[in-house]
Amino acid sequence: MALPVWAEPVRVASYNVEMHRKAPGLMLRDILRGDDQARAVAQVVAHVAPDVLLLQGVDYDADLHGVRALRDVISEAGIVYPHVFALLPNAGMATGLDMNGDGRLGRGADKQGFGFFAGQRGMALLSRWPIDEAGVQDFSGLLWRDLPGAELPEVAGAPFPSEAAQAVQRLSSVGHWIVPVVMPDGGVLSVMAFSATPPVFDGPEDRNGLRNADEIRLWAHVLNGDLGVAPKGRFVIAGNANLDPEKGDGRHAAIRDLLAHPKVQDTRPKSAFGGTDTVDWRDPSPGDMRVGYVLPSADWKVVDAGVFWPAPGDADHEVLRVDEVHASRHRLVWVDVEAATAEGF
C-alpha cells in the first residue's frame, strides 16, 4: 500500500552561527547566562522557521548539553525541534604531530581540523521530525589521501608537511555526514552535511586550498558511487563550503563542479539585497561572498529559496533589530522543496 504523501513544502536550512568558544563548556555557560548572540540566533531561526536545520560553528560535548541549550533558546523564540543530532567533530582533535609545517606541536593548526579543544567548531542537526541515527553515514574518519583523486600538498616534490602527517590526516576539517530524517509520510530526507576549511591561512603549498577543494569534491564521489552509499531517495547537501564560485581565494572549480552536478540543483537563493552572498566578512574585509549552500537533489520540486539577510528599512530588519544584534557574520540559507511526483518522499 502506498504511503500518504506529505502535502506541505519542506524547508531545509543551513546556518553557521559562529557560537564556538575558546574552551570547553563556555558556549553552554554563555547560553545559560542569557547570551545576546544565542538570542539573536534564535530570533533568526524562529523567523525563518526551517523544518530541518544544520548548524555550524557550535561546540560539541558528549551529552549535547550545549547544542540542546541553544535548541531550547530557539524553542523559546517560537520554533520547537524535538530531535537533535551531532557527532564529535575533527576540529580540535589532537594528532600529536606538526600538521602545518611550522615546527611546533599542539597548536590549533596541528589538530585534525583547526581548533583549540576536542569538540570545538562542530555541527549539529535540528529537526522537527525523527532522525534515523542508526542509518547515519559518517565520512569524518576518511583519510585525505584515501579520497579518490585526492590532491595532497607537496613542497619540492615531497609530502607536506611530512609523510607521517599525511598518513594520519583526515579529509574532513569538521565532518561529512549523511543523516536520514524520517518524514511524516514515512519516507526519508537525507541531509548531506559538512563544513569545510577556509582555503586560506597557509603558504605556497596551498594546503588549506587543496583540502577545501577535496572536502567539497567528496560529495561528487559519493553521488557518483565511488565512496560510501549514495542516498537512495531525495537528499539535500547543506553546509558551509567556505568557497565562492567566483570571488576570493580558493579553487573555485570545486564548488562550480558541485553546483553543476547532474544530481544536484543550484537554486541560487537571493537575499533582500538581491544577491546570493551568504557571509559579511567585514574585519578583515575580503568582501561579501557566497560560501553557505543548501542544494536539493534534482528530483525535488523547488518552491522557494533565500538567504536571510534583511536590508535596512525592510520589515524583517525592523522586526529582528539586526542593526543592533548581529547573530553571526554568516547568514541563514534556506530552500523550500516538495515531492515532484505523486510517490511523495
Query: Which CATH number among 3.40.50.2300, 3.30.70.380, 3.40.710.10, 3.60.10.10 corresponds to the domain 10-339?
Result: 3.60.10.10
Grid coordinates in use for 51? 523544518
Which of 221, 32, 64, 202 shows the shortest CA–CA distance to 133?
64
Length of the chain: 345
pLDDT of residue 326: 66
310: Cβ contacts below 8 Å, ≥ 6 apart = 271, 272, 316, 317, 320, 322
Number of neighbouring beta carbons within 10 Å of residue 80: 12
Is 304:11 a contact under the CB 8 Å cutoff? Answer: no
Return the amino acid letter for 180.
P
Alpha-carbon span 96 to 229, nearest angstrom: 32
H-type helices in the chain, by residue range? 26-32, 36-48, 65-77, 163-168, 207-223, 252-259, 315-320
Strand, coil or helix: what is 258? helix
Alpha-carbon span 175 to 56, nearest angstrom: 10
pLDDT of residue 234: 96
Residue ranges of domains in the chain: 10-339
This prediction has a pTM of 0.94
pLDDT of residue 115: 97
Alpha-carbon span 195 to 240, nearest angstrom: 5
Q: How far is CA 92 from CA 60, 99, 142, 174, 202, in A?
A: 11, 12, 16, 9, 18
Q: Which residues are 231's β-sheet partners?
A: none
* Ordered per-residue pLDDT tens for the chain, 345 residues: 344 455 689 999 999 999 999 999 999 999 999 999 999 999 999 999 999 999 999 999 999 999 999 999 999 999 999 999 999 999 999 999 999 999 999 999 999 999 999 999 999 999 999 999 999 999 999 999 999 999 999 999 999 999 999 999 999 999 999 999 999 989 999 999 999 999 999 999 999 999 999 999 999 999 999 999 999 999 999 999 999 999 999 999 999 999 999 999 999 999 988 899 999 887 666 789 999 999 999 999 999 999 998 766 676 666 666 544 568 999 999 999 998 664 544
